[in-house]
Amino acid sequence: MIEAGVARRFNVRIPLHDGVTLSADLALPGGLPAPAVVVRTPYGKTDERNSQRAAMLAKAGYACAFVDVRGRGDSDGEFQPYRNDGPDGAEVIAWAAAHDWCTGDVATYGASYGGRIQWLTALEQPPALRDRRYQPALAYPLPAVAAHPELTTGGRARPARRHSGSGRRATVG
């Protein structure tokens, strides 16, 4: 499926070392290869917000993979919160980096459960994970957020405010 410079692939299977396959929906930019953003979720990868986010990232030049975690959505296996998320995340990053549509550079994005499992993935030290800086609670890659503030603000850039008393400008987060 193609939409305004974004190629979509649905229910792409990601094989893991133990025979389980995870399900991913991909949004690919017109110019490939591209750096990838991996978003893993237990909440279901196929909602409208995820589709819009994936399109936004693809239009900005990123290959985007929304992935159902093990045992959730269209992925195989048994869901055991946090038990397999670190190793599974490292395998998903390696899978994305190995494809011809990816430059080999992979970042992650997520909040709530999806944000916490990025920490577990980072502990695995996947070689293709280029950005290991996360913001507590949200755990998104800082360069992607800096370039696309709509990832965390619902499309509204937050203005800088004057900090009371000091005369310095501070960004409200």
The angle at the Cα of 107, spanning 104 to 108, to the nearest 5 degrees, equals 140
Entry pTM: 0.77
Range name among 48-52, 55-59, 115-119, 139-143 with the lowest pLDDT average: 139-143
Q: Which residue has the higher pLDDT, 138 or 60?
A: 60
- All structural domains of the chain with their residue ranges: 2-171
Give the model's pLDDT for residue 110: 84
What distance in Å separates the CA atoms of residue 88 and residue 92, rounded to the nearest whole number? 6
pLDDT tops 50 at residue 151? no
Assigned fold of 2-171: Rossmann fold (3.40.50)
pLDDT tops 50 at residue 140? no
Q: Can the peptide bond before residue 33 be classed as cis, meaning omega within 30 degrees of 0?
A: yes
pLDDT tops 90 at residue 150? no
pLDDT tops 60 at residue 111? yes
